[in-house]
Structure 1
Amino acid sequence: MDISIEISLYPLAQEKFKPEIWAFIHKLRAVDGLKVVTNGMSTQVFGEYDLAVQTVMAEIKHVHETVDAAVFVCKFIGGDRSQVEAES
């Protein structure tokens, strides 16, 4: 079973927040079997359910252990939504 996860990370009380966000994204991209797409608002992760969920949760935990405060907004959608076709 596949899953699609959309994540937005908001480090709080960080003057230089971009390095924290990019470190999070690079760790996700390093995992074989995951497709990671980014844009200006969020990061989308697509892949096998257990691999994607376990990886995302482990990286969220790592951020909470290493950053003073951070907020995550996540959406978990069953199935691979990376190739959704537009309705006609």
Structure 2
Amino acid sequence: MPLQASIDISMYPLQDQYCQPILDFIESLEKRPDIRIARNAMSTQIFGDYRTLMAALTDDIETVLADQPKTVFVLKLLGTDRSEADIERCGD
């Protein structure tokens, strides 16, 4: 079975009009049928086959950086699919 992964992505365009580039990036990821996506106010998570996720990020991040090179991406990667995981909270 291929390696599954979960990736948490935060994108920070260093410009005044920062919302639309973020929405465009997420929309590009959402067009990929082989990636599961979860959005929240702070970041976007993608889940699926590791190689598929990394190929998508390579393409989509390169597109963003070619247009807006002053954009920061922060990625957190886990080597398992956590899309269906229950969140455990400290102290609960």
TM-score (norm 2): 0.88
In the alignment, does 2:10 pair up with 1:8? yes
Q: Which residue of 2 aligns with 1:70?
A: 71
- Structure 1's consecutive aligned runs of 4 or more residues displaced over 2 angstroms after TM superposition are 85-88
Q: For 1:72, what is the secondary structure of its paired residue?
A: strand
Counterparts of 1:31 and 1:50, CA distance in 2: 13
Counterparts of 1:63 and 1:32, CA distance in 2: 20
* Cα offsets for 1:5-35 (capped at 9, x unmatched): 00000000x2111000000000000001101
The 3 A distance-change label for structure 1 pair 68 and 83 is same
Gaps of 5+ in 1: none
The amino acid of 1:17's aligned partner reads Y
More strand by share: 1
The 3 A distance-change label for structure 1 pair 17 and 50 is same
The 3 A distance-change label for structure 1 pair 52 and 65 is same
TM-score (norm 1): 0.91
Q: How far 1:86 sits from its partner (Å)?
A: 4.5
Between the aligned residues of both structures, percent identity stands at 36
Counterparts of 1:86 and 1:28, CA distance in 2: 24
Q: For 2:77, what is the secondary structure of its paired residue?
A: strand
Q: For 1:25, what is the secondary structure of its paired residue?
A: helix
In the alignment, does 2:37 pair up with 1:36? yes
* Residues paired across the two proteins, number: 87
